[in-house]
Amino acid sequence: TTARVTKWMSNGIRTTYKISLSNGMQIRATDNHQFLTEYGWKRLDELSENDCIAVPKIMESAISSSFNLDKLRVIAYLIGDGSISIKSDIDFINKDQVVLDEYKRALKIFTDVRVAERLQIRDVTRISARSIDGRYETSLLKLLREIGLKGSYEDGGCRSENKFVPSFIFSLEDSEICFFLASLWDCDGHVNEAGASKKNVSYKTISYQLAIDIHSLLTRLGIFSRVHNLGNYETQSGTQTAYQVNVLD
């Protein structure tokens, strides 16, 4: 349920601290914030490095809504392998023909969008979503702006390092969240082939927020995971930090 804010008060300026957990989560809180530990409630300033604090095994949503699966697929693919940071451009970049065909199929839900496809180096294909009638804002561009992945023409949109899961995804039904996560996995996910001696399911990204959001969605489904910092590496645009969500159950 939701309700209007009727009153607020200021507690002044307080020093906050950041706790990093072994599962990759980070919590910001003041020194007197209470955390549930295996020995009862403790203030933040009473915690030591090896203490364990309670985290949810599963998160339940009070809201359960539905969303068109083709639109959900397009959003997930653009979060995974989309280039959406420049002005009103909306490009999907991949080399797997099955994934490329699925993106083009799902894109048809946006009836005012046409596909412009070109082959780049290393057998990578770029699919651009353009307006059929030359209008500035397509229904796809409007949707991406509504959910925060695109801004104004001047602002462009999210870069790879600051992509995230739009908030409405967290209110969807479990089956749709599964579909969304599976779509993300099509792009940057990894699953060991059948018969592998060690089972491994993981997702790699350079966006810490995206990694945390995926971790939260998995928790919503009751699936345990950890977010690992893989360290820095050099790219043409500078130093980037990679993160990997590992599914442990």
Instruction: Give the model confidence (pLDDT) of 7-20 as tens digits.
Output: 888 878 888 988 88
Rounded Cα–Cα distance for residues 14 and 120 (Å)? 52
Tokens of 232: 């820095």
Distance CA 15, CA 29 (A): 8
pLDDT recorded at residue 165 = 97
Lowest mean pLDDT among 57-71, 93-107, 118-132, 225-239: 57-71
Would you give the distance in Å from CA 125 to the centre of its chain? Answer: 23
pLDDT for position 20:
84
pLDDT in tens, 136-154: 789 999 999 999 999 988 8
Provide the pLDDT for residue 180: 97
Helices (H), 34-150: 69-81, 97-107, 139-146
